[in-house]
């Protein structure tokens, strides 16, 4: 019987999952160059061939399984990957290099992959250029086979188990979502990293930033992921399993009770209405948004369409269908689609090919879209087509705005594609609303110059916190410094809300802060009237708004803005919230 132990991380998505662990290593190991003697060469080539056969066998099995469980489209990608393994330009070239330079297979593979990827880069055709992502995937697969490491493409094996990984890229999280994984834990990640956001949207308990997770849990039979406390319990004893099962059940009941309040208006005690909207990453979250009582969509992260379709770009038809589905689901509410926020940590490699030294400060969001007019055009045309003939005004919002010119350029492009579609006799809407995401301090400080160019503001506190505090939102090493309640962030938020009011344009907030119970009183008090959040958080925020008076909220906001440190603000808000919670019939787990 193995010994029970607790690993500690950051609880980022509430809830408790108990189950069989599936351990995955996604991060590539560093590849070192080992010089071989002539006598070792044949053995090394054999090792390469055996590794390649193992990788091919694995891809064939995955493809077969995917054809049955996920669909032919995904299976064909895996089959194509297997064919790349058979292609002489990869494995044969690696063999040649091993022989020529007397080096180990891993090193030779890395050199050949780099060369191939660079060749793909030179190709003018976008489709062919995109194929470099496939080559990279296959090379990783082969590298993994050579290194004898746990495999990441384990979607089919995870089932309802708990995924424990060194790193979970958002693309993997999405695929796993359709496999009913019951919990996530990873060594990397932070409060607002994109995998965390997906886990929250899907209501899957998650803990990130758990040092030593993979080594600590690799032989475990059972694990518990406690998303409240940020604990991963490895091989807990039966008594603990029982305690946690009861807690999990209690949490489920509490969620059910809160959902029962979804029909009540989000209105303060003194009658001020707040609009609760949903953040949607995948269209299948529409149902959860509706049952949580969302009045519309405040943020559709359209780049997830890309993550799902990867390595292909979603075409105009696919995108039009997805946007129309959202508009149809909320005919009387606002539907806000954010244009692709790619680059940075999201599919940077696949979209750009060349790694950037500082991707989070690089070609990301609107900057990338304006540099890749071919795919931005597809998206803007799809948005206009989806909104044509629909009763609701589509809201298009643009991420990572730092300059007024960026908004102006997008407006010009929208007008141009509208004319293009008209000429093609396609239905286009009379009006679409164009908004700027305020997630760079420069945009918040320059909000009065952005306001006349935009129809609305959407504050993205995840990035606003990252860029204001110079703290990478996905880096567990600095997760303790990622503090949305830092006075500097709070002041920028207050500033944007007040500029919005001055210019008469709506302001919503769609970062994770909107779903944080501590933030609700202060945001309402600052004048925020649109909150957008992952659907499972809607009931809690609704209950809190209903327990507040605007007078109280204003007092809280006023005081919070005078405090000097994040800690002081957090402690003050916690104290205020405890007072408020005594009004609530349901207990809220903070």
Interacting residues with Mg ion between 314 and 373 (CB under 5 A):
none
The partner in contact with residue 235, picked from ligand PEP, Mg ion, none with C-beta cut-offs of 5 to 8 angstroms by kind, is: none
- From the list 272-280, 454-462, 482-490, 523-531, the region that binds Mg ion by CB under 5 A is 454-462
Instruction: Exactly one of 231, 486, 510, 534 is catalytic; name it.
Output: 510
- 393 Rama class: left (phi>0) / alpha (psi -120 to 50) / beta: beta
- Closer to ligand PEP at the Cβ: 93 or 439? 439
- Closer to Mg ion at the Cβ: 16 or 507? 507
The partner in contact with residue 131, picked from Mg ion, ligand PEP, none with C-beta cut-offs of 5 to 8 angstroms by kind, is: none
Which residues of the shown chain bind ligand PEP in the complex (CB under 6 A)? 192, 197, 299, 301, 341, 439, 460-463, 510-511
Least spacing, CB of residue 264 vs ligand PEP, in Å:
26
- Closer to ligand PEP at the Cβ: 213 or 282? 282
- Closer to Mg ion at the Cβ: 234 or 299? 299
Nearest-angstrom CA–CA distance, 242 and 304:
37
Q: CB-based contacts of 20: which residues, under 8 Å, 6+ apart?
A: 161, 162, 221, 222, 223
Distances (CA, A) of 65 to 154, 155, 307, 438, 484: 11, 10, 21, 43, 43
Residues, the chain: 590
Interacting residues with Mg ion between 411 and 450 (CB under 5 A):
439
Asked if 512 is part of the footprint of Mg ion (rule: CB under 5 A), the reply reads no
Residue 194 annotated as catalytic: yes
Least spacing, CB of residue 399 vs ligand PEP, in Å:
7
Could you tell me where the DSSP H helices lie in 280-347?
Answer: 286-291, 303-309, 316-329
Residue 369 annotated as catalytic: no
Least spacing, CB of residue 323 vs ligand PEP, in Å:
17
- Reply yes or no: is the peptide bond before residue 83 cis, omega within 30 of 0: no
- Among 460, 474, 536, 539, indicate the residue that binds Mg ion (CB under 5 A): 460
Distances (CA, A) of 293 to 236, 274, 333, 522: 38, 13, 12, 22
- Closer to Mg ion at the Cβ: 367 or 381? 367
Nearest to 9 by CA among 476, 466, 515, 513: 476
Least spacing, CB of residue 204 vs ligand PEP, in Å:
17
β-strand partners of 279? 299
Q: Cβ-closest residue to Mg ion? A: 463
Indicate the helix (H) or strand (E) that contains 120.
Answer: helix 105-122
- Closer to Mg ion at the Cβ: 303 or 439? 439
Nearest-angstrom CA–CA distance, 102 and 3:
45
β-strand partners of 438? 459
- Closer to ligand PEP at the Cβ: 145 or 276? 276
Least spacing, CB of residue 395 vs Mg ion, in Å:
16
Least spacing, CB of residue 507 vs Mg ion, in Å:
16
Indicate the helix (H) or strand (E) that contains 544.
Answer: helix 538-546
- From the list 82-90, 108-116, 349-357, 455-463, the region that binds Mg ion by CB under 5 A is 455-463
Least spacing, CB of residue 338 vs Mg ion, in Å:
8
Instruction: Exactly one of 81, 194, 486, 534 is catalytic; name it.
Output: 194
- From the list 79-87, 230-238, 251-259, 460-468, the region that binds Mg ion by CB under 5 A is 460-468
Are the C-beta atoms of residues 337 and 323 closer than 8 Å to each other?
Answer: yes
Residue 290 class from Cβ within 10 Å (0-12 exposed, 13-18 middle, 19+ buried)? Answer: middle
Contact set with Mg ion (CB under 5 A): 439, 460, 463
Q: What are the catalytic residues?
A: 194, 510
């Amino acid at each position: 019987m193995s010994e029970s132990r607790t690993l500690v991380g950051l609880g980022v998505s509430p809830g408790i999952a108990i189950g069989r662990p599936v351990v995955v290593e996604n991060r590539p190991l560093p590849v070192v160059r080992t010089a071989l003697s002539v006598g070792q060469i044949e053995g090394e080539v054999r090792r390469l061939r055996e590794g390649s056969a193992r990788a091919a066998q694995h891809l064939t099995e995955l493809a077969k399984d995917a054809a049955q469980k996920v669909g032919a489209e995904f299976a064909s990608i895996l089959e194509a990957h297997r064919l790349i393994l058979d292609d002489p330009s990869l494995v044969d070239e690696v063999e040649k290099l091993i022989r020529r330079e007397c080096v180990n297979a891993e090193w030779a593979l890395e050199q050949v992959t780099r060369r191939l990827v660079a060749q793909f880069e030179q190709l003018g055709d976008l489709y062919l250029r995109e194929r470099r992502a496939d080559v990279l995937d296959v090379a990783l697969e082969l590298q993994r086979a050579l290194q004898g490491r746990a495999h990441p493409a384990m979607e089919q094996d995870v089932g309802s188990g708990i995924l424990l990984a060194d790193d979970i890229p958002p693309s993997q999280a999405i695929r796993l979502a359709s496999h009913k994984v019951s919990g996530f834990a990873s060594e990397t990640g932070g409060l607002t990293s994109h995998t965390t956001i997906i886990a929250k949207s899907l209501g899957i308990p998650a803990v990130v930033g758990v040092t030593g997770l993979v080594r600590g849990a690799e032989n475990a039979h059972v694990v518990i992921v406690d998303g409240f406390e940020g604990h991963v319990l490895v091989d807990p004893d039966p008594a603990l399993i029982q305690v946690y099962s009861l807690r999990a059940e209690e949490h489920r009941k509490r969620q059910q009770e809160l959902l029962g309040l979804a029909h009540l208006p989000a209105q303060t005690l003194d009658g001020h209405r707040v609009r609760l909207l949903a953040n949607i990453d995948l269209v299948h979250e529409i149902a959860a948004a509706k049952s949580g009582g969302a009045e519309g969509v405040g943020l559709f992260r359209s780049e997830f369409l890309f993550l799902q379709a990867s390595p292909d770009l979603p075409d105009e038809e696919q995108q039009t269908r997805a946007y129309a589905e959202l508009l149809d689901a909320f005919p009387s509410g606002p539907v806000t689609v954010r244009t692709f926020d790619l680059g940075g940590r999201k599919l940077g490699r696949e979209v750009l090919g060349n790694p950037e030294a500082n991707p989070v400060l690089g070609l990301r969001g609107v900057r990338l879209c304006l540099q890749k007019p071919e795919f931005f055009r597809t998206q803007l045309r799809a948005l206009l087509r989806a909104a044509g003939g629909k009763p609701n005004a589509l809201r298009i919002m643009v991420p990572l705005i730092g300059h007024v010119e960026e908004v102006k350029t997008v407006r010009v492009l929208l007008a141009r594609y509208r004319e293009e579609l008209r000429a093609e006799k396609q239905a286009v809407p009379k009006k679409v609303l164009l908004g700027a995401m305020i997630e760079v301090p420069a945009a918040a400080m320059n909000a009065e110059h952005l306001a006349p160019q935009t129809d609305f503001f959407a504050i993205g506190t995840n990035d606003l916190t990252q860029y204001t505090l110079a703290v990478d939102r996905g880096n567990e090493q600095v997760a303790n410094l990622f503090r949305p309640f830092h006075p500097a962030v709070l002041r920028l938020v207050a500033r944007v809300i007040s500029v919005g009011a001055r210019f008469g344009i709506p302001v919503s907030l769609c970062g994770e802060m909107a779903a944080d119970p501590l933030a609700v009183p202060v945001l309402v008090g600052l004048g925020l009237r649109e909150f957008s959040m992952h659907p499972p958080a809607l009931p809690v925020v609704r209950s809190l708004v209903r327990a507040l008076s605007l007078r109280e909220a204003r007092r809280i906001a006023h005081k919070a803005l005078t405090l000097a440190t994040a800690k002081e603000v957090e402690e003050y808000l916690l104290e205020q919230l405890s007072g408020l919670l005594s009004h609530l019939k349901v207990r809220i787990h903070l």
